[in-house]
Amino acid sequence: MTRMMIRVDAEISDELSGAFPHLTARTQRATTTLTGEMTDQQELQGVLNLLNSLGIEVVEVVTIPD
Q: Residue 21, Cβ neighbours under 10 Å: how many?
A: 8
Q: What is the pLDDT of residues 44-60, one digit of tens each?
A: 999 999 999 999 999 99
| C-alpha neighbours within 13 Å on the C-beta side of residue 6 | 28
Q: Residue 47, Cβ neighbours under 10 Å: how many?
A: 20
Question: Is the pLDDT at 66 greater than 90, yes or no?
Answer: no
* Nearest in space to 30 (alpha carbons), one of 57, 50, 48: 57
User: Domain of 40: which CATH number?
Assistant: 3.30.70
Question: Is the pLDDT at 64 greater than 90, yes or no?
Answer: yes
Range of the domain at 45: 2-63
How many structural domains does the chain have?
1
Q: What is the pLDDT of residues 1-38, one digit of tens each?
A: 899 999 999 999 999 999 999 999 999 989 999 999 99
DSSP 62: E
